[in-house]
Structure 1
Amino acid sequence: MTYLTEMQTDLEFQQVLLKVQESLTVNEVQDLVFLCSELLSLKDLSTMSSAGQLFSLLENRDLLSREDPSLLLELLRILKRNSLIRSLTSEEVMPTNGTTYSRLISTYRQFLYELSESICEQDLKNIKFLLLKTLSRKKLEKDTTLLQLFLEMEKEGLLDENNLDFLQKIIADINPSLGKRIIQYKTESFKIDIVKEQVNRLNLTEGADVASRDQSQNSVTENAEIPQYEMKGDKRGVCLIINNYDFKKCRLRDRDGTDIDKKSLEVVFEWLGFEVVTKQNCDRHQILQVLRDLAARDHTSADCVVCCVLSHGKIEGILGVDGKIATYRELIETLSPSQCPSLFKKPKLFFIQACRGTNDQPAALPQIFPDDEVMPVSDAAVPRDSIPEMADYLLAMSTVPNYVSYREKHHGTWFIQSLCYHLKMLVPKGYDLLSILTQVNSDVSKKTDKSGLKKQMPQPEFTLTKRVVFPPPKTHTP
């Protein structure tokens, strides 16, 4: 293609965009801004006043071009502008052959858009009334659209892909049929998560079998044919510990005993040769930011990275001390190869002290523990998605799905204390990490409270491709 021909083709594509711009209403432009809010920064979108500005920004971000106009077609499809799509694809500059929708707009954002299309003006007024004590009056002005309200709710941490409960409560009070649609969407999304988890379990089961064989044979040499990650770097790596104790701001109980876990982890991982970095009482933003800071480091000379998170939790993930949730996927994807290239093909090890459900809550047995000093308490949470579809991750959870894990005020948590003990005992003997975690499983499964009713079973999930074997430290025990 000659330079002149290329310029002509570029001009034709810009004419197509101009045609689209002239065909859209003001409300449709606002709809496009909402739909693109996951692709562009809110700061950029806040000053958006025309479709032309939006298209220019998408082009600058390499999300839209004459070679790949699929995002434009996807957006128009969501807006149900089918006649405009037919008109555009009849143009030579946007042929139908080979052109598919880009699927860049998430199912979650499409669902919110479709929900907004079903809300009448009176329903919107009622929604704003219910939000009077939640959002500022300025954000509830007469001309504020429902999609703009959704964005404000997301900013406040009241709404996200994994948390539709608050929205469901408001909508169901005003329009029960739409409330049922939200429930249906949550159910379908959960089923998709279950399918993904079952696929992951196939690999996890195979890995667990290997670890079990290793333990029963009690022989390191028989594992020689299974490769292990290199542990010969100048530094073993960074061990980040996020220790959340003070939850007064969100009216949750303080996590008494967590400092015992923190100290145990600091001692053991320093002994193993790690640079230990401890962060205290992090809110959601700070949790993700310290992980981003960790990802920004140069890990070229390191062997691996460790992240220990000690906190309360809910169904969607870990709670910051502000009561807002950082999902498990958000935690671990901060260290993905795209975010941290220097950790590519190196093990990324996460140890999470939090429950994975609410079954067997300690509050059900107050008569058994009249002295609160010895009463185990839980940090309940259920991660709906955890290990990402990437290699070289370990996510060691303190308990299996749907059950709590326990923390004692003067002894720390069952899981973390057992983990630290067995690292000290078994690393010098050459045991790999999965074999050590198998022993932790065995140890914790035998623990119970004074009533004999509280039980706990840890569970590692992983996409490790080799064995993790820490070189024995020079001193036998820390």
Structure 2
Amino acid sequence: MDLEFQRVLLKVQESLTGDEVQDLVFLCSDLLSLKDLCTVSSAGQLFSLLEKRNQLSCEDPSLLLELLRIMKQNSLIRNLTSDDYKQTNGTTYSQQISPYRQLLYERSESICEQDLQNIKFLLLKTLSRKKLEKDTTLLQLFLDMEKEDLLGEHNLDVLQKIIADINPSLEKRIIQYKTERYEPGGMVIAQEIGKITPASPSALTLLSPVGIMEEQVDRLSLTEGPALISGDQCQNLDSNSVIENKSLNLSVTSQNTEIQQYEMKGDRRGFGLIINNYDFRACTLGNREGTDIDKERLEVVFKWLGFEVLVEQDCNRHQILQVLRNLAARDHTPADCVVCCVLSHGRVEGICGVDGEIVTFRELIETLSPNECPSLCKKPKLFFIQACRGNDNQPAAFPQTCSEDEDMLFSDAAVPRDSIPEMADYLLAMSTVPHYVSYREKGRGTWFIQSLCHSLQLLVPRGIDLLSILTQVNSDVSKKTDKSGLRKQMPQPEFTLTKRVVFPPPKSHRPLP
């Protein structure tokens, strides 16, 4: 089989031009030393170096496939996987090429010759003239800038400044990358995009279905490496894998007469408002790819629960507050409750409008206070917030072994005491704890919203109260992680509810679309 693999490498070598070989060298510059790369003049030499360092082999050709994918050599990939090397069938793409290097490579393709000459001119006083010779490519220029410590994964400021007037679209992409990667010192907060891989097999298990559910509904396990791994692939879940009811640790407490329930017997359940912010071109925050998937899922689930759903798209700070004031001005007398879902970027103190301006959590929920909306007095006001609350990545914690009766201690100081006004009948369910990011996958939506919708659909028909459902959401999301297994997310519900929220089971028990 080694001979077969060498035939594959030879075919690739013969198919690539000299410029494409240099593209390979650039993409692999994090995997091999610059000293080794200086001697590379052909794809064969590069492949030999990678094989010597056990980064490429017949047993694991994933790096080769990843390189060809990045270079958009799709026809070559198809030929290799179908004709020459059958073992590549089913091989998943690895993520050995850094998102930073992919960014530079992909952006270099959008730079024309005149732009390149302008970049070289602006670097005349920074790099030697020899390095700025006419035949130097942009990728070679990037490597020279890296050698001079003018460019790096966390050092894009010089490039951004140079490129600002030459190619604004490239500058915008650099800003978006810095946002998504939480560059140290950056002020903008963004959500992660990409595929997420479960930390363990337990993250693949699902709750026992209340009916036969569509396969797409069950695909809550996302498969991603940190921010810039290609985003639309997802591992299929085994729809037959279940957890025994007792493992949910959720007991149906509808017979508990000590804790009252809010009445849910009105003519209608109430209004369900969804504020869906995608387009952030008016500020430095990146567009929220994948948010429409969350929006559509929320619409389906809350209509199923009996809500009259209202959707507002791309609201700035003023519009967010005005939409909520308009909601407060409605007559909620025949309604049981109200729901407000906000999908946006965020910071520790609140959510961002598409203009980058903050609406604090206090401002958000005080719009529906009894003083502003008397018809909602003593009725539950339920807020579900999908947004970052900081720019830190939450690391995985590896607990020490302890006795079964020993409680693990967690800090209660993370949330300011004024994060919820001192008024009754509120729930503020947030996708993450303060100071940390939330995760979103371009092709599958966010961890929090998808888990929320999934759990509502499964547990409402069983009579499970909302806080118990959110506890299950906490459990589900806490088991998800990035490809490294080190980045985590922990949702956080806060509430001043005085009774249990139990939605009546929908009249139709048929699976949602």
Q: Structure 2 length normalisation: TM-score?
A: 0.47
Deviation at 1:387, TM superposition (A): 1.1
The structure whose residues are more often helix, as a share, is 1
1:354 aligns with 2:387: yes
Instruction: Look up the match of 1:344.
Output: 377
Distance in 1 separating the partners of 2:259 and 2:247: 11
Report if the CA contact (8 A) 1:315-1:383 is conserved. Answer: no
Distance in 2 separating the partners of 1:233 and 1:384: 33
Instruction: Look up the match of 2:308.
Output: 275
The C-alpha deviation readout for 1:216-241, integer Å capped at 9, x for no partner, is: 36233443331000000001000000
Pair 1:361–1:323, CA change in 2 (3 A) = farther
Report if the CA contact (8 A) 1:316-1:383 is conserved. Answer: no
1:426 aligns with 2:459: yes
1:449 aligns with 2:485: no
Deviation at 1:314, TM superposition (A): 2.3
Deviation at 1:383, TM superposition (A): 7.8
Pair 1:440–1:313, CA change in 2 (3 A) = same
Instruction: Look up the match of 1:120.
Output: none
The C-alpha deviation readout for 1:160-207, integer Å capped at 9, x for no partner, is: xxxxx9xxxxxxxxxxxxxxxxxxxxxxxxxxxxxxxxxxxxxxxxxx
The C-alpha deviation readout for 1:225-283, integer Å capped at 9, x for no partner, is: 31000000001000000000000010211000100000010000000000000000000
Distance in 2 separating the partners of 1:278 and 1:285: 16
Q: Which has the higher contact order (CA 8 A, sep 6+)?
A: 2
Distance in 2 separating the partners of 1:216 and 1:350: 25
Instruction: Look up the match of 2:421.
Output: 388
Determine which of 444, 449, 452 is the counterpart of 1:411. 444
The C-alpha deviation readout for 1:335-355, integer Å capped at 9, x for no partner, is: 000000000000000000012
Give 1:17-416 correspondences, 5 Å limit. 216=249, 218-360=251-393, 385-416=418-449
Report if the CA contact (8 A) 1:295-1:340 is conserved. Answer: yes
Deviation at 1:451, TM superposition (A): 1.5
Distance in 1 separating the partners of 2:247 and 2:277: 35
Instruction: Look up the match of 1:50.
Output: none
Distance in 1 separating the partners of 2:495 and 2:378: 14
Pair 1:243–1:426, CA change in 2 (3 A) = same
Secondary structure of the 1:286 match is: helix
Pair 1:216–1:344, CA change in 2 (3 A) = same
Tell me which amino acid in the other structure corresponds to 1:236. Answer: R
Identity of aligned residues (%): 77
Secondary structure of the 2:419 match is: coil
Distance in 2 separating the partners of 1:274 and 1:306: 8
- Provide the aligned length of Structure 1 versus Structure 2: 249
Report if the CA contact (8 A) 2:250-2:468 is conserved. Answer: no
Distance in 1 separating the partners of 2:324 and 2:419: 16
Tell me which amino acid in the other structure corresponds to 1:296. Answer: A
Tell me which amino acid in the other structure corresponds to 2:483. Answer: K
Tell me which amino acid in the other structure corresponds to 1:341. Answer: P
Pair 1:215–1:242, CA change in 2 (3 A) = same
